Amino acid sequence: MKLVADTVMLVIGLTLRVGLLTMPVLALVAACGELEEPKPRPLPEARQDLSPGTYRSEEFEPSFTFRVGEGWTNAPPEASDHLTLTWGQMWVLRFLTPRELYKPTKTGTPNLVETPEDLVGWYQRHPYLRTDEPEPVTVGGLEGVRFDVIVAKDLPEDHYGMCGLGCVDIARFEQFDIVHNRYPRGYWDDYYGACGSAGTAWACSSSGSLFSIREEDKQRLIVLQNAKGETVTMGFASPSTAFEVFAPMAQKVIDSVEWKGT
Which DSSP symbol is given to 48?
A: -
What span, in angstroms and rounded, lies between the C-alpha atoms of 209 and 141? Answer: 29
Share of the chain above pLDDT 70, in %: 69
Instruction: Tell me: do 48 and 26 sit in the same domain.
Output: no
* Three-class DSSP category at 152: coil
- Residue 165 shares a structural domain with residue 142: yes
Virtual torsion, Cα 202, 197, 109, 76, nearest 10 deg: 0
pLDDT in tens, 30-85: 444 455 667 999 999 999 999 999 999 999 999 999 999 999 999 998 999 999 99
- This prediction's pTM: 0.75
Pair 183, 61 in one domain:
yes
Specify whether 1 is located in the same domain as 58: no
What residues does 147 pair with on adjacent strands? 221
Q: Are residues 58 and 27 located together in one domain of the fold?
A: no
Task: Mark whether 2 and 60 lie in a shared domain.
Answer: no
Q: Tell me, yes or no, whether 3 and 57 share the same domain.
A: no
Q: For 48, what's the count of Cα atoms within 13 Å in the CB-facing half-sphere?
A: 8
Is 70 exceeded by the pLDDT of residue 191?
A: no
Q: Rounded to whole angstroms, how far apart are CA atoms 101 and 104?
A: 9
Distance between CA atoms of residues 195 and 101, nearest Å:
21
103 and 125 assigned to the same domain:
yes
What is the average pLDDT score of the chain? 78
Pick the residue with more confidence: 6 or 246?
246
Per the structure, the count of domains in the chain is 2
With a CB cutoff of 8 Å and minimum separation 6, the contacts of 25 are none
Q: What is the mean pLDDT of residues 129-146?
A: 96
* Residue 177, CA distances (Å) to 77, 107, 204, 228 in order: 11, 24, 10, 26
CATH number for 241: 3.40.1000.10
With a cut of 70, say whether residue 242 has pLDDT above it.
yes
Determine the structural domain holding residue 13 and report its residue range: 1-36
Predicted local confidence at residue 199, as pLDDT: 40
The answer to whether residues 123 and 131 touch, using CB atoms and an 8 Å cutoff, is yes
